[in-house]
């Protein structure tokens, strides 16, 4: 599978690209700058020499990819996604964004009129098959090395087949179990967990993750 990352030069995009490259996928890092995309692609390729990793501008990456992962900050979605509408079309798109901001140093969640970052992305890319996933997976943990993550990924989508595909993709990352989180509208709760985790990480000086018990 060829997986493209919009804003893939940041820690989350590079981390997921690294893990998917380890799982045997071709990855395409997107950026506003081709040079930054190529530099990030080199960083991933150095860690996974057998993988095919390329760096392209966001629109080219979106066009080239079979599955598109959105890894721009939530605040950048509204200005970034409309220009990619045609390149993305009806593809499978994964929203990783969390509408997080710091309120006097404390992690907090922005009010999103659409309900969640994933639903805003769906509104901006109406033809895309939108799936919310990976919002609780910290970039530092992803980049740590080829170590099992031992975490659950909660996957939310309205299209059953798209959800199934992303759940299968997530489980290709070592130590990940995918959990069906329901419709895309439930992404707001998953995104909120990350705000909580950021606070927990600060308090316990750790990289906390999510495990759902009883399923």
Ligand X SMILES: NC(=O)c1ccc[n+]([C@@H]2O[C@H](COP(=O)([O-])OP(=O)(O)OC[C@H]3O[C@@H](n4cnc5c(N)ncnc54)[C@H](OP(=O)(O)O)[C@@H]3O)[C@@H](O)[C@H]2O)c1
Q: Which residues bind ligand X (CB under 6 A)?
A: 7, 9-13, 31-33, 36, 71-74, 76, 79-80, 96-98, 135, 137-139, 194
Report, in Å, the least distance between residue 171 CB and ligand X. Answer: 18
SS3 state at 17:
helix
Give the integer Cα–Cα distance in Å for 190 and 203. Answer: 20
Nearer to ligand X, 139 or 185 (CB): 139
Shorter beta-carbon distance to ligand X: residue 11 or 161 = 11
Going by C-alpha positions, the residue among 156, 154, 153 that lies closest to residue 122 is 156
Whole-number minimum distance, CB 95 to ligand X, in Å? 8
- The residue at minimum Cβ distance from ligand X is 10
Calpha distance 97→150 (Å, rounded): 21
State in angstroms the smallest separation of the CB of 101 from ligand X.
Answer: 10
Closest CB 60 distance from ligand X, rounded Å: 13
The residue among 8 and 161 lying less far from ligand X, judged by its C-beta, is 8
**Contact 200/208 with Cβ under 8 angstroms?**
yes
Cβ nearer to ligand X, comparing 102 with 214:
102
In whole angstroms, give the CA distance from residue 13 to residue 7.
7
Smallest CA-to-CA distance from 58 within 27, 89, 33 is with: 33
Give the position of tokens 């927990």.
200
């Amino acid at each position: 599978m060829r997986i493209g990352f919009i804003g893939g030069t940041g820690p989350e995009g590079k981390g997921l690209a690294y893990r998917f490259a380890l799982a045997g996928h071709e990855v395409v890092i997107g950026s506003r700058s081709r040079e930054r995309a190529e530099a990030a692609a080199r960083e991933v390729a150095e860690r996974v020499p057998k993988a095919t990793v390329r760096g392209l501008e966001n629109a080219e990456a979106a066009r080239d990819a079979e599955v598109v992962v959105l890894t721009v900050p939530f605040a950048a979605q509204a200005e970034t996604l409309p220009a990619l509408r045609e390149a993305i079309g009806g593809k499978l798109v994964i929203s990783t964004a969390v509408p997080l901001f710091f309120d006097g140093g404390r992690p907090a969640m922005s009010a999103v009129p659409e309900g969640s970052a994933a639903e805003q992305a769906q509104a901006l890319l109406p033809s895309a098959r939108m799936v919310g996933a990976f919002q609780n997976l910290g970039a530092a943990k992803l980049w740590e090395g080829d170590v099992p993550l031992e975490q659950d990924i909660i996957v939310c989508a309205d299209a059953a087949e798209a959800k199934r595909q992303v759940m299968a993709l997530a489980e290709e990352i070592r130590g990940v179990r995918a959990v069906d989180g329901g419709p895309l509208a439930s992404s707001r709760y998953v995104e909120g967990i990350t705000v909580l985790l950021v606070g927990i990480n600060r308090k316990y000086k750790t990289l906390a993750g999510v495990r759902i018990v009883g399923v």
